[in-house]
Chain A
Amino acid sequence: MRNRFGGGLFVLLAAVALVFLVLPIVGIFFHTTPGRVIGQLSNPVVVDAFVVTLKTSLVAQALILLFGTPTAYLLATRRFTGRSVAVTLVELPLVLPPAVAGIGLLAALGRNGLLGSSLHFLGVTLPFTQAAVTIAVAYVASPLYIRQAIAAFEAVDPRLPAASRTLGAGPVRTFFRVMLPIARGGLIAGLALSFARGIGEFGATIMFAGSLQHVTQTLSLAIYYEFNQSFDATLAMSGVLVIISALLLLTLRIALSWHESPSNTSPSLFGLSSST
């Protein structure tokens, strides 16, 4: 009897938790009639915010891939002094409050910032431009990708790249034909996480890029600013973000289930002389 009571209690608590987690999302879709929400999708504020978000996110994620992948690869496969410091630095933006990140970006790249004056001299002004949105997104989202990518590369059995080398492939071919395909699942999962973090970016963007419609106002910023003007527009944009987030979550789950299971790894071989 007691057992059944305990089990029942657990089910009840779990049910409350699930409803709590799902309820806000249900609210977004059922607060008003779907017709009114869909009508808002042609509202220029909504359209502009969607385009800004898409453009800046795609460029930011492309940059994260381009710079983050080699960074993660080196951190995962090389052992050098200062490596753990480098890993900690990579993770820094993850724990930094977004508003602080925004101030930091301003202080570094703003007109009077650390590099800002040199940039200004070159005719480049970053704050309150679309480039600033991209930079803010890349700054806060990149650690999620890099962390996951390090784990994905570390999970590759070190004998596989070693085998590739003895089979006549140089380091570059080994990277593209062995490391990248095997780590693929983890990399895509990391990118999905980074993407999700990027489209939700608020604090750093508002500090560094402002919220100018058509230029720097992303969906997340527009939701906040439209909140008092048109609740329907807010709901429509929220609905779009819910759908994107759901797709990213799905991508993440599929990518992680793909993960080829490499046999257990021993951190040795390449360059290091330890094994038998």
Chain B
Amino acid sequence: MARVTLEHVTVPLRSFELDVSLAIGATVALVGPSGAGKSTVLNAIAGLVRPSGGVIRCGEETWFDQDVFLPPERRSVGLVFQDYALFPHLTVRGNVEYARRHAADEYLERFGIAHLANARPAALSGGERQRVALARALARDPAILLLDEPLAALDAHTRVEVRTELQQLLAGLEIPTLLVTHDFEDAAALAQEIGVIVDGRLRQTGTAADLVARPADPFVASFTGANLLRGTPTGSPGSIRLEDGTLITAAEEVGEATTLAVYPWDITISTHPPDDSALNVVAGTITAITELGNRARVTIGPVSAEITAESLRRLGLETGGRAYAAFKATGTRVVA
């Protein structure tokens, strides 16, 4: 399968210029805050936005460079829009046939929407709409699949279900895929490679595990879900001191750095000071408890820990109560 490559593709945006180089072979996710230029990258690949410079290639074919600008209809892309952009005046079959005049039924079958063939998009659920949008986008046998915030239009309930469905679909697809999301978890679940984009620049690319293990900067760290501990140098190479005087020991040289990252799942919570002196301990009042299914997020001072709902009850934790968050030195990463 042909790779789609972007070399210094630049697009002037409102407050900054997008400048991205990227090679898409397997499934790649672009993650970043809204307004970072993620969707613009998709639109540039699809030909809906004309970059001011750079080169876009699909295998041997040039889609964009200084002298070439192929219109969208001549690029082999399947773009699934955020909110799906199904044609409201056509049935499900009509939507798929729009892209493929023959054997549309085969696609309806493949995506499990044959029974909806004569329904209008307005009558479909979010998950069904996504399947129609995917069937439509893939009906042209595109060289690359582009997904713009594929899960953003769904409510929390259907989201997980549709994500699983999408995961299976992408695993079976033989074409490069670029998806855009503001949710790191979605990106980690769906893509083999993740690029973190902020203000039009790629800050870091790698597998989800790479990004978590070695976040390149505080933004990437907090984006991947880490707590950021900001402090001042202590003079000793392996630790920093937080504002409240707590000493945090890192497993690596801190040097001049003052920011450490620690992930919520590396933190344990207790109601009594832990007696293991090898642990970093942040003591304080619980400022927030958020329960999500069978997990709970407990915030004490600068850190949030993820624990099971069962531990939450067993420990009898409550907002306003005093508690201790503990984590090993090896649970910290130096980010800045």
Contact = CB atoms under 8 A, between A and B. Distances in A.
Given A166-B46, A167-B140, 4 more contacts: A167-B73, A169-B73, A182-B89, A274-B13
* Of listed A165, A168, A178, residue having the most chain B CB within 10 A: A168
A269 B43 contact: yes
A177 B89 CA distance: 10
The majority secondary structure among interface residues of chain A is loop
A162 B73 contact: no
Contacts of B139: 167
B48 interface: yes
A129 B71 CA distance: 48
Given A160-B85, A260-B88, A273-B12, A166 B39 contact: no
A205 B14 CA distance: 51
Interface string A201-226: 00000000000000000000000000
Interface in B1-49: 11-14, 34-40, 43, 46-49
B229 interface: no
A83 interface: no
Interface string B34-68: 11111110010011111000000000000000000
Given A165-B48, A168-B99, A260-B89, A275 B73 contact: no
B43 A157 contact: no
A165 B47 contact: yes
B89 A165 contact: no
B111 interface: no
B208 interface: no
Interface size class of B (residues with CB under 8 A): 35 or more
Contacts of B35: 276
Interface size class of A (residues with CB under 8 A): 20 to 34
Interface in B70-97: 71-73, 75, 77-79, 81, 83, 85, 87-89
B89 A167 contact: no
Interface in A223-276: 260-263, 269-276
B136 interface: yes
A163 B38 CA distance: 18
Given A165-B47, A166-B79, A167-B98, A273 B85 contact: no
Given A165-B72, A166-B46, A167-B98, A273 B40 contact: yes
B120 to A, nearest CB: 9
Nearest to B48: A162
Nearest to B72: A165
A166 B72 contact: yes
A34 interface: no
A39 interface: no
A44 interface: no
Contact of B71 (A167, A170, A177, A260): A170
A156 to B, nearest CB: 10
A163 B139 CA distance: 13
Interface string A147-164: 000000000010110111
Closest 10 CB pairs of A and B: A165-B72, A159-B85, A276-B39, A167-B99, A166-B79, A163-B85, A273-B49, A181-B89, A166-B72, A260-B88
B94 to A, nearest CB: 10
Interface in A162-197: 162-170, 177-178, 181-182
A155 to B, nearest CB: 12
Given A165-B72, A178-B87, A273 B43 contact: yes
A275 B46 CA distance: 14
Contact of B79 (A163, A261, A271): A163
Contacts of A165: 47-48, 71-73
A160 B73 CA distance: 14
A169 B98 contact: yes
